[in-house]
Amino acid sequence: MVTGKQAGAATLLIATFAVGAVVGRVSARWADAAAAPRTRTENRVPGARLTATLQRELSLSTAQRDTVQAILIRWDPAMRAIWDDMRPKFDSLRVLVRADIRQVLTDDQKAAFQRWSARQDSVARNRSREANRGR
């Protein structure tokens, strides 16, 4: 027979795994993007970083690269509008997720998690500023 505490512990374990998977994936994406050299033009042109990544990963021809860039520029306003609407919801959810994670950490881990969270927030703010410059 499964008790309430066991069910709660199992739920917390599953939630921790899910959050870890999401955080790992996001961190990997941020690390990949941070490792890619950026030019001033890439910071101002919508989709330039994605275009550069696709160019590198797919060996796009010049015509393909230009077409992909045009597609990303065309869809940029719609993508930004959706992100602008979702961002407050995402931010409030992130606060709840981090609070749940802190509950399973030791005091030393909490301090390290706080430093990590601050770094991630800083990266996100910098990206947001870069993206807003391109508007």
In the chain, % helix, strand, coil (3-state, to 5) comes to 85, 0, 15
- pLDDT value, residue 31: 58
Mean pLDDT, to the nearest integer, of 14-23?
66
The residue behind tokens 């030393």 is 108
Q: Is the pLDDT of residue 28 over 70?
A: no
- pLDDT value, residue 113: 93
Backbone angles phi, psi at 121, to 5 degrees: -65, -40
Helices 48-58 + 4-35 axis angle, to 10: 80
Task: Identify the domain containing residue 112 by its residue range.
Answer: 4-133
- Grade residue 41 by pLDDT with cuts at 50, 70 and 90: very low
The answer to whether residues 47 and 37 touch, using CB atoms and an 8 Å cutoff, is no
Number of independent structural domains in the chain: 1
The answer to whether residues 77 and 85 touch, using CB atoms and an 8 Å cutoff, is no
Considering the entire predicted model, what is its pTM?
A: 0.49
